[in-house]
Every structure is written in structure tokens, then in C-alpha cells.
Amino acid sequence: MFKKISRNLFLTMMFIFLYFPIFYLIIYSFNSGDTMVSFDGFSLKWYRELLHNKDILIIILNTVIVALISALIASIIGTLGAIAIYQTKNKQKQNILYSLNSVLIISPDVIIGISFLLLFTVFAIPFGFMSVCLAHIAFSIPVVVIMILPKLNQLNGNIIYAAKDLGASEYQVFSRILLPLIKPGLIIGFFTAFTYSLDDFAVTFFVTGNGFTTLAVNIYSSARIGISLEINALSTIIFVITFVMAILYYIFEIRGGKSKYVKNN
Amino acid sequence: MFKDFKKYAIIYYLWIIIFVVLPILLIFIQSFLDMNHHFNLINYKTFFSSTYLKMTFNSIIYALLITLICLMLAFPTAYLILKTKYKKILLILLILPSWINLLLKTYAFMGLLATKGFLNNILVLLNLNPVQFLFTIKGFLIVSIYIFIPFMILPIYNSIEQIPENLIKAAQDLGANKWQIIKKIIIPLSKNGINAGIQVVFIPSLSIFMITRLIAGNQIITLGTAIEEHFLVTGNWGMGAAIGSILIISLFLSIFIVQYPRKKFLRKKNVDIPSVGGANV
């Protein structure tokens, strides 16, 4: 009994520690005052102002568009990469490819940021939407590869030979055998790439130009001047969306996955 | 296996060359250029002077401290969650805060830790003296630990979860108490997860510059802050690239040191090495 209480106490403290800052943001999004220091009364005015603030809405749109484009393109190139690594027969070559693939996952963001800054300077790529998109595609590709590769490794290679023997074209092998097999990995890869892009600050900070900002960079650059509580309202909306998505993921992936497993057996 | 496919795979190989190999080469090349674009070793000479070595030393100490505290909090959390009935949903809830943009979370702490912020208001209510959190090491450590802890919990949770129940039951049968089980079974068998957690926390906490700027003011300079400063403030790209090069080299050395004996050991035992996910900060 005592053990259980102390266990729950520890976990509760952990949860309070992890959620307190987020709830703090949420509570102050309903503040009728102007600061995060004193709560003057309940109001929805920051939500109203957020909906009428064109600058912030454009920045949100930028952030989401970059995330969508980069996740989409990274998913395509990542799929090609995973298949390329999978079908490399030479083990040593395969290991080298895999290590090169991991470099951008392990590298700290500052290093990725400055290296892309140098790269885009050398190739004279204008800093702005284009450079941010290219950077996000580049750092998302290895994540997609890593999500797809284990699925390919489960594949029995003979199936592909059998299909080819029976006259399947390469495209058919891809669309009928490989694609259904890697689909779960591809979906997780896409969403991971999407969240990586949404969450990124450091890389974007180095490669963005004057005219183009994402949400994270915008918060960073306005943090010292003082941030409007509209950002709190926005955080609340983001938190609710994330929370709902996590619960949906739990319901479909974990509970749904379990019942499917039971049925098949 | 595929012949036509090879044409398309070229895009992936091009990505490796342009966005993986070339950028690192560019950093190394840049690190040998001084402010006037002349090729020399001045940046490395400057780095191995006392100011930069002291900065590097401090940066490593802070990163070690953050990693250690994260580990001390994350291990019991992962272990205790696995003992509850609702482990999956609790894990998702623990990881959820890491999906909120870290700038938003840091911004929350700017309000929480302010001189007249929430934490100090509570201290005053408790008749204690208010504490200066913002622009101090304390504030920097609190926020860094907060940001990194989910990345430490996840790999440790995964590796503890894989420990076969039977091993623990056998140990109990043979009279091991709870601490012996943790010390002799759970910690050794979750070493991979602990290693992965240390990697994903230690490396980013060496190089993070956003928290130091916003929370610690200019009180703390990490390697990341120094690199950012040289690239975006002073314009001395060569110096920034030199610090970056040293960071990259020590990174690969540390991964090699951590992974090599592990790989050898695992190859013997025929176990897969779990891939390391990166903390995206």
C-alpha cells in the first residue's frame, strides 16, 4: 500500500512538472490583462485578436505549408532511400549508407543550421521560403528512411522474385508488394517529418531570410520585446489539437492494433 | 533487385552528397579561413586559448549536469510507469509535452520564472524570499531538464519494457529483494536505453543556444551559443566553424566509443541494436 502511494506520488509530481508550464500558458490565454504575470480576469479577447491578426495567421500558414511540403517530399525521397539501402547487397556498403543516413539525425541542430547556411551561401540559394523548405526536406529524409527500413527488413525477398517470375513489372512489384508493406512505416515517417518541421527552430533560424519566418523563429525574435498573449491563445489551440491527436493515436494504433492481433490469431 | 528503380534512387544519393557530406566538408573548410578568407590555423589557435577552453569546459559541465538529473528523474519514471496498469496511455501523456513547440514551452517559463512570476509569488506566499530565476544558472538548468526529459524517458522505457518478465520472477524466486533486482537485472539490461537517452540529451544540451539566450540571458555560454554568436552576430564564420568542427569530431568520437564495444558485445549475442532517435532541439 505504502509502495503504491509513493509510486503514484512520484509519477504525479512528474506529471505536474511536465504539464505545469503548458497549463500556465493555457490559463493566461484567458487573461483579460496584458501580461503573463498577473491574472486580471477571464476573457476571450486574445482568441478574438488572434483571429484578426493577419501577421500571425500568415506565419502559422507559412509554418504549416513548409511542414506539409517538406514532409511530403521527404516521404518520397525517404522511401527511395530505404529501398536503396535495403537492396544494397554488399553489407559494408549498406552499413556506410546507413551511417551516412544517420548523420543528420544525430547532429545537433546548430551544426545542421550552420552547415546549411554555408551550403546555401555557396550555391547562392536565396534565403527565405525556398531555403527553409530545402533544409526541412533535408533533415526529414533520414527520419522517414529509419521508419521504413525495419518494415522492408521483414520482407521475405523470395516474394519479389516470385512476383517477377510471374511477370510482374517493377512498378507492379512496388505498388502491390512493397508499398502495402511499408505503408505503416511511411505514415509514421510522414507524421514524424511533419512534427520535426513544425517543431524546428534552430535550423530555420539560420537559413531563413528577412521576409520569411516560421512560428518558432517569430517567438524567439519577439521574446525580448515582449510577446502578446495571442501566442498563449495559439498555444492553447495547438495543445488541444495535439492532445486530441495523441488520444486518437492511442485509440486506433494501440487499442485497435491489439484487437486486430487477437482476431488474426 | 530493381533495375529501373536505380534511376530514381539517384535522388537519394544526391541528397547524401549535397546535404550530408558536402555541408560537413564546408564546415571543415570554413574553419580554416580567417576573417579575410585566408587559409590558416588561427581559429584553432584561438580555440585552444584559455577563454574558449574554459567555455568548453563549462559547457560540458552543464551538459553533464542536465544529463545526470534527467537520467535520475527519467529512470524511476520509466520504471514506475511500467508497473502501472495504464502504461501505454501514461507514456503517451508523458511524451506529449515534447510535441509542443519548444519555443512555446520556453516562453511559458519566461512567465513562470520571472521576478514577479508565478514561482516567486508562491515563495512569497510561503513567507520565503523571492529567488532570481531568470538570467541565472538555476533557471537554465530547470528549463533544459524540462525540455530534455521526455527524450530520456522514451528509450529507457522501451528497453525496460523488453526485459523478460521471467528473469525478474526467477530472481524473486531465488530470494532477490527489490533493490537487488533493480541493481542486478533492470539497470544492466536497460543499458542500451540509458546509453541512447544519454546521447539524445547530452549532445543537444551541449549545443543548445535558444534556452541560454532566452532564459539565462548572457550568463551562460555553451558551445552552441558561441557558434550562433560567431555566425549571426560577430560574422566570424571561420571561428564558428572551428568550434563546430571540434563539436562534430568529438561527437563522432563519443559515438564510436559508446557504440563500438556495445556492437561487438551484441554481435556475439546476436541482438539488434536499437536505433537512436534524435532530440529535435
- Indicate if the pLDDT at residue A206 is higher than 60: yes
- pLDDT of A164 reads 86
Give the span between the Cα atoms of A181 and B253, in whole angstroms.
Answer: 37
Domain hosting residue A236, numbered range: 1-43+229-265
CA distance A210 to chain B (A): 13
Q: What CATH number is associated with residue A162?
A: 1.10.3720.10
Name the residue of chain B whose CA is nearest to A80's CA: B9
- Is A39 in the same domain as A65? no
Q: What are phi and psi of A227, to 5 degrees?
A: -105, 140
Cβ distance of A201 and B103 shorter than 8 Å: yes
- pLDDT of B275 reads 41
Residue A49 lies in a domain: no
Cβ distance of B23 and A118 shorter than 8 Å: yes
HSE, side-chain direction, 13 A CA sphere, residue B223: 29
Tell me how many degrees the CA angle B125-B127-B131 measures, rounded to the nearest 5: 85
Residue found under cell 551516412: A100
CA distance B97 to chain A (A): 7
Minimal Cβ distance to A246: which of B12, B18, B96: B96
In Å, how far are A250, B86, B87, B103, B196 from B161, measured between CA atoms?
A: 18, 14, 10, 32, 15
Percentage of chain A lying above the pLDDT 70 cut: 95
Please count the other Cβ atoms lying within 10 Å of the Cβ belonging to residue B32. 17
- Indicate if the pLDDT at residue A36 is higher than 60: yes
- Is A7 in the same domain as A133? no
Can you tell me the mean pLDDT for B152-180? 91
- Indicate if the pLDDT at residue A42 is higher than 50: yes
Residue A91 lies in a domain: yes
Name the residue of chain B whose CA is nearest to A202's CA: B281
Give the span between the Cα atoms of B1 and A89, in whole angstroms.
Answer: 9
DSSP state of B231: I
CA distance A93 to chain B (A): 13
- Is A130 in the same domain as A2? no
- pLDDT of B260 reads 62
- Indicate if the pLDDT at residue A261 is higher than 70: no
Name the residue of chain B whose CA is nearest to A250's CA: B89
pLDDT digits (tens, 9 = 90+) for B106-130: 999 988 998 888 888 888 889 888 8
Residues of chain A found within 8 Å of residue B83, distances taken between Cβ atoms: 7
- Is A152 in the same domain as A244? no
- Is A133 in the same domain as A161? yes
Q: Is the ipTM of this complex over 0.85?
A: yes
Helix axis angle, A54-86 relative to A215-222, nearest 10°? Answer: 130
Which tops the pLDDT comparison, B85 or B243? Answer: B243
Task: Give the model's confidence band at A255: pLDDT under 50 very low, under 70 low, under 90 confident, else very high.
Answer: low
How close are the terminal C-alpha atoms of chain A, in Å?
A: 38
Ordered by start, the domain boundaries in chain B are 55-269
Q: Find out whether A210 and A218 touch, Cβ atoms under 8 Å.
A: no
Residue B132, classed as helix, strand or coil, is coil
Residue A259 lies in a domain: yes
Residue A31, classed as helix, strand or coil, is strand
Q: Find out whether B27 and B244 touch, Cβ atoms under 8 Å.
A: yes
| Domain count along chain A | 2
- pLDDT of B269 reads 46
- pLDDT of B75 reads 96
Can you tell me the mean pLDDT for B257-275? 52
Cβ distance of B240 and A114 shorter than 8 Å: yes
Which tops the pLDDT comparison, A252 or A29? Answer: A29
CA distance A62 to chain B (A): 15
Cβ distance of B101 and A81 shorter than 8 Å: no
Percentage of chain B lying above the pLDDT 90 cut: 51
- pLDDT of B1 reads 57
HSE, side-chain direction, 13 A CA sphere, residue A184: 9
Cβ distance of B204 and A199 shorter than 8 Å: no
To the nearest 10°, the Cα dihedral for A79, A213, A209, B21?
A: -30
Give the span between the Cα atoms of A112 and B73, in whole angstroms.
Answer: 29
- Is A12 in the same domain as A128? no
Residues of chain A found within 8 Å of residue B28, distances taken between Cβ atoms: none
- Indicate if the pLDDT at residue A1 is higher than 80: no
- pLDDT of A224 reads 74
Minimal Cβ distance to B26: which of A87, A102, A122: A122
Give the span between the Cα atoms of A204 and A136, in whole angstroms.
Answer: 8
Please count the other Cβ atoms lying within 10 Å of the Cβ belonging to residue A179. 12
- Is A132 in the same domain as A79? yes
DSSP per-residue letters across B49-71: SHHHHHHHHHHHHHHHHHHHHHH
- pLDDT of A28 reads 93
Name the residue of chain B whose CA is nearest to A16's CA: B94
Residue B42, classed as helix, strand or coil, is helix
Which tops the pLDDT comparison, B166 or B5? Answer: B166
- Indicate if the pLDDT at residue A257 is higher than 60: no
Which B positions 53-72 lie with beta carbon below 8 A of chain A? none
pLDDT digits (tens, 9 = 90+) for B67-94: 999 999 999 999 999 988 888 889 999 9
Distance of CA B67 to the CA centre of its chain: 7
Please count the other Cβ atoms lying within 10 Å of the Cβ belonging to residue A153. 11
- Is A85 in the same domain as A130? yes
Residues of chain B found within 8 Å of residue A115, distances taken between Cβ atoms: 23-24, 26-27, 244
Please count the other Cβ atoms lying within 10 Å of the Cβ belonging to residue A212. 21
Give the span between the Cα atoms of A61 and B265, in whole angstroms.
Answer: 49
Q: What are phi and psi of B33, to 5 degrees?
A: -105, 135
Tell me how many degrees the CA angle B159-B162-B168 measures, rounded to the nearest 5: 110
Q: Is B135 exposed, middle or buried (0-12, 13-18, 19+ CB in 10 A)?
A: middle
Tell me how many degrees the CA angle B164-B170-B171 measures, rounded to the nearest 5: 100
CB-based contact, B37 to chain A, within 8 Å: no
- Indicate if the pLDDT at residue A96 is higher than 80: yes
Task: Give the model's confidence band at B255: pLDDT under 50 very low, under 70 low, under 90 confident, else very high.
Answer: confident
Minimal Cβ distance to A111: which of B108, B207, B275: B207
- Is A161 in the same domain as A110? yes
DSSP state of A209: -
Can you tell me the mean pLDDT for B19-39? 94
- B55-269: which CATH number, 2.60.120.10, 1.10.3720.10, 1.20.140.10, 3.30.499.10? 1.10.3720.10
- Indicate if the pLDDT at residue B277 is higher than 60: no
Give the span between the Cα atoms of A206 and B243, in whole angstroms.
Answer: 16
